[in-house]
């Protein structure tokens, strides 16, 4: 894992937009109710990651966990002698189209060991981020899934599914922002009437406001973990009119303030 960690650090230091994320901390992070918007592969490169509250799952360096989309997952990121690092790769429907599961009982996660072959595949994907166009990167993501299935982790296929309407709305908010997307504009973008949109979302157990709130706060966590932007700018990017309101909603959702999360990444 040392080689993969070094490559991840090198590529992540570039100023390019990357098809993966790197989360790190030098102090323990304890986050409640983290939303997972897409199927997500997390490879622990250093330290431990603990998920869940009652039936806890512990992933050590060299482990991976594959998560299905979920509205709330509790996470602890724990440095051990050195900083915690994890590689995160999320998967769009186009990356996995044709690999949908025929398994009726959908699992929420799957844990495994990062073999030498998988590590090499991940290294190639990370390095290709510096030169490959989006279409090639999508194929590389598909290769990762196919390799996992080839290596015997067929259960991962049960976490892949056709995105629902809530997933499309989530993407719209992230792509177009949180302040200008009124309900009529959303309906126009989705080619749906307002009554149909609300009815479909109700069937999925959610609403426009709930999706918007999850997208805003999920983006907030992501920016705090992956950038050094001031919290005020992150608040603006998430569509909050004031930093205090952002802090209040963040604390209510995740159990700590943006400042407290940022401090886990800073030395005393």
Number of independent structural domains in the chain: 2
What's the pLDDT tens digit per position in 216-240? Answer: 999 999 999 999 999 999 999 999 9
pLDDT band at 252 (very low <50, low <70, confident <90, very high): very high
pLDDT of the residue at 221? 97
Same domain as 170, residue 138: no
What's the pLDDT tens digit per position in 87-134? Answer: 999 998 888 877 755 555 556 888 999 999 999 999 999 999 999 999
Identify the domain boundary among 113, 141, 159.
Answer: 159
Residue 70 DSSP one-character state:
E
Give 145's contacts (C-beta < 8 A, 6+ positions apart). 91, 95, 96, 99, 156, 160
Residue 268 lies in a domain: no
Same domain as 136, residue 152: yes
Rounded CA separation 46/43 (Å): 9
Same domain as 130, residue 174: no
Q: Is the pLDDT assigned to residue 154 strictly greater than 90?
A: no
Percent of the chain with pLDDT over 90: 79
Write down the pTM of the prediction: 0.93
Same domain as 94, residue 193: no
Same domain as 155, residue 29: yes
pLDDT of the residue at 101? 57
Same domain as 113, residue 30: yes
Same domain as 129, residue 38: yes
Same domain as 175, residue 132: no
- Rounded to the nearest angstrom, the gap between the alpha carbon of residue 78 and the centroid of all alpha carbons in its chain is 18
Report yes or no: 43 and 22 within 8 Å, Cβ to Cβ.
no
Same domain as 246, residue 146: no
Closest CA to 21 of 91, 72, 111, 83: 91
pLDDT of the residue at 98? 76
Percent of the chain with pLDDT over 70: 97
Give 118's contacts (C-beta < 8 A, 6+ positions apart). 64, 144, 147, 148, 151
Same domain as 143, residue 98: yes
Same domain as 151, residue 62: yes
Report yes or no: 50 and 56 within 8 Å, Cβ to Cβ.
yes
């Amino acid at each position: 894992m040392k080689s993969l960690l070094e490559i991840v650090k090198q590529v992540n230091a570039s100023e390019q937009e990357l098809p993966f994320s790197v989360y790190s901390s030098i102090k323990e992070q304890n986050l409640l109710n983290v939303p997972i918007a897409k199927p997500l592969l997390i490879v622990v490169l250093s330290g431990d990651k603990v998920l869940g509250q009652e039936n806890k799952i512990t992933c050590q360096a060299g482990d991976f966990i594959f998560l299905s989309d979920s509205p709330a997952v509790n996470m602890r990121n724990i440095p051990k002698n050195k900083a915690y690092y994890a590689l995160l790769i999320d998967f769009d429907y186009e990356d996995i189209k044709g690999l949908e599961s025929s398994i009726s009982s959908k699992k929420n996660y799957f844990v495994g060991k990062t073999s030498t072959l998988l590590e090499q595949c991940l290294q190639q994907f990370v390095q290709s981020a510096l030169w490959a166009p989006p279409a090639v990167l999508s194929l590389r993501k598909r290769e990762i899934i196919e390799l996992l299935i080839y290596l015997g982790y067929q259960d991962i296929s049960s976490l892949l599914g056709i995105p629902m309407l809530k997933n499309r709305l989530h993407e719209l908010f992230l792509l177009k922002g949180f302040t200008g997307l009124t309900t009529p504009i959303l309906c126009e973008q989705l080619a749906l009437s307002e009554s149909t949109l609300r009815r479909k979302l109700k069937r999925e157990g959610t609403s426009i406001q709930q999706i918007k709130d999850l997208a805003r706060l999920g983006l907030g966590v992501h920016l705090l973990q992956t950038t050094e932007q001031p919290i005020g700018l992150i608040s603006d990017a998430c569509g909050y009119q004031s930093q205090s309101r952002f802090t209040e909603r963040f604390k209510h959702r995740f159990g700590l303030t943006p400042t407290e999360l940022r401090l886990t990444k800073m030395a005393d």
